[in-house]
A and B are shown apart, each in its own frame.
Chain A
Amino acid sequence: MTKSVLVIGGGPAGLSAARALGKLGVPTVLVEKENKLGGRPVLESYHTLIPRKMTPSQVLGPYIEDVQSNDNVKVMLGTEIETCEGEAGDFKVSLSNGEKLEVSAIVVATGFQHFDARRKGELGYGIYPDVITNLQLEQMFSKEGKLYRPSNGELPKRVAFVFCVGSRDRQLGVTNVHCCRYGCALSGLQASEIREKYPEVDVFCYYMDVRTYGTWEYPFYWAPQEEYGVRYVRGRIAEITFNPADGRLRVKHEDTIVQRPAEIPMDLVVLVLGMEPSPGTKKVAKILGLKQDPDSRFIVPSDESGSNIRSNKEGIFIAGACKGPIDIESSMAEGEAAAMEVLNFLGAKVTV
């Protein structure tokens, strides 16, 4: 068995797949479009990760190191796939750097992209500087180590989190009806971090329902309220306006529990972004002929198999956020599961 396995995408899912394959002695090629491994958490400098409150380098650093130091794994950065011919066990792939590969199996782990908040015009993102995304908030923490209002550099007195921006939403068409899965929990963490560091800042979370499933309930829903005093208000923010008189934003909503209109002044508003399939995911799905959800365009597993890792094409496996919103731990587990499925598949070939 000399042919290698191709892993596309060097984020949490792809890294875990390549690492497992390499450790098991399977020759593996990992192609990553960007010039760095680690996927969105590393590329976009996330600050602290849910659920274990570790940094991206604590979680993904060891994986990156394992992959880079393993002789079985060849990492190709700044590279994408261009075409693919052949069939399971014998794929002929050409890459953007002109190289050609012959591989026996492929793991697709091309991930997601963040929702572009400009598409929700009523929320004023891109118009009012103090409306930011939760991704920008992560970067404020990780790169600048402080919380401030972009309009004047001062510490906000009040911060609002607006849940479900670009998720659970049919006004965007059929593409964004799914729930982002990480948003409620990450907001609980970010809100707690703000309260811990700046006890004088009041923080509000505006929600329809709070989805901190499984073991996330305590640390990211109860603790923010019980330990950090974050306030939760039930009502979806429908409009953000700016009041020139006091230079503050207004978050407009119905407080559904009080059943009254509310326009509350805020200094900083954080939009909790949804996830969409990355351009790479859509492109690779097309090149490889993978089945996509007709609405969201995420890649979906084959109908014939119970495994959610197998694609509709034999010899091609799918893991992580290219299949839909997911957290890092699950992405990593799926990457490892994909490695197992590859082995299973290669083994079956050998015995035939």
Chain B
Amino acid sequence: MGIIGKRVAYYPGCSLEGASRAYDVSTRIVVKELGLELDYLEDYNCCGAMESKNVTFMGTMLLNARNMSLALKRGHKVIVAPCNGCSFSLQRAEYFLETDRKVFEKVNELLKEGDVDPLDEIPHTYHLLEWLYNEAGPQKVKERTVRPLKGLKVANYYGCLYTRPHFYSRTYAHAGGNGEERPRKRETADDDEHPFYMNELLEAAGAESVYFEPMHTQCCGGPHSLSDEDVSKKFVMMILQTAKRNGANIIATECPLCHASLEMYRYRLMLEGIEDVDVPAAYFTQLLGLAFGYSVDDVKLKDNLSDPIPVLRRLGIA
């Protein structure tokens, strides 16, 4: 542990400064409590999420390269992003910049034209969860816990892009062609098919994890949650029903997009009278915040559309 760095560049992403501010606020609380430090990436831009890459390759590279450049300028070689989409986008750009010389050169040329410092190296991006697990870990969480999450049965939902795909997330950096670079296993990475970091952190805070495979990394419909309602509805239904039927009283999330999608379709499914979908959702950082003694308002639990407060109250956690 301790290989990523205690003080890192913080890329919250657009969502965390808007509708998902609860994730941002609770993240800052947890990070402070665990003795780590986030340096806010002033004036960043949107990573392009899962959308711009379908429209423009080079444009998407540029969006992410600009953010990398900002991080370097502030002296950071590590960026931490709490959103699966953001960390994915930065890692994807990292991949192409690193494996395709031509792309790298072109991007730097264009950055200069746009009055942005070119990249002399490529910073690495980590998801918030991976950073917390490696730099603080379950033991620290246990020490800080003053109000154990007793009775909380959690379905830990990791979503798609926290563990996927290998090549972008540097768990294996080699995609094809002979003589390209050696594989690099990212030592700090969670298990790619059976992730457990969130389980362990919340368990350290006194919660109990319910069996949630394979829905723990099953897609919620993600980027199509607005453009393909049929598919999203079905996927969210599968996720929620599995959680409920496996005994969960809450779903813990670590991505604002997954979280929004789960909450939105949960409500729509309930309106349609679908059974076993009423499990509420909370960011894992909100739950850790509660365990560390913070209040419902401190971690902005009222922002959650699925309203987990009654469940938490009943258990005496909130």
Contacts and interface: CB of A to CB of B under 8 A. Distances in A.
Interface of A: 121-122, 127, 170-175, 239, 241, 294
A241 B166 CA distance: 21
A170 B182 CA distance: 11
Given A239-B214, A241-B213, A241-B214, A173 B172 contact: yes
Contacts of B6: none
Interface size class of B (residues with CB under 8 A): 10 to 19
Contact of B174 (A121, A127, A173): A173
B186 to A, nearest CB: 12
A174 B175 CA distance: 9
A132 to B, nearest CB: 18
A172 B183 CA distance: 8
B82 to A, nearest CB: 25
Given A173-B172, A174-B183, A121 B166 contact: no
Nearest to B173: A173
A121 B214 CA distance: 12
Contact of B194 (A121, A175, A294): A121
Interface majority SS on A: helix, strand, loop or mixed? loop
B192 interface: yes
A124 to B, nearest CB: 9
A175 B184 CA distance: 11
A121 B183 contact: no
Contacts of A122: 193
A121 B213 contact: no
A296 to B, nearest CB: 12
9 contacts: A121-B191, A121-B193, A121-B194, A170-B176, A171-B172, A173-B183, A173-B185, A174-B183, A294-B182
Contacts of B175: 170
Contacts of A239: 214
Interface string B199-219: 000000000000001100000
B172 A172 contact: yes
Given A121-B192, A122-B193, A174 B174 contact: yes
A30 to B, nearest CB: 35
Chain B CB within 10 Å — which of A122, A127, A173 has the most?
A173
A127 to B, nearest CB: 7
Nearest to B194: A121
B302 to A, nearest CB: 37
Nearest to A122: B193
